Structure 1
Amino acid sequence: MKGEDAEVRHVVETHDLSPAQARELVRRHGNDWRKIDEAAKSYKDST
């Protein structure tokens, strides 16, 4: 999906995650940025 690419890129740039991790978050949470932000923080905390 074209719009998903932009969202994935945003998560990668904002949270310093891999594209695969970012894509997983976008698929799981859609465009709920609050949930994506929380999940991205937990990814970083667990590494």
Structure 2
Amino acid sequence: MSRLGNVWDSVAMESFSSLKTERMARKVFRTWEAAREDVLNYI
């Protein structure tokens, strides 16, 4: 782990947290495949 304030620590995790808030908020998927396809299209 690096020191506090080093922005490179959580870059990957922060990008997936935006996925949760921007793309997945209040969405209901009928199947797992539909959810997977939507996430892959987002990425």
TM-score range, shorter chain: 0.3 to 0.5
TM-score, normalisation: structure 2: 0.36
TM-score, normalisation: structure 1: 0.34
Hey, which of these two has a bigger chunk of helix by percent? 1
Between structure 1 and structure 2, the one with the greater Rg is 2
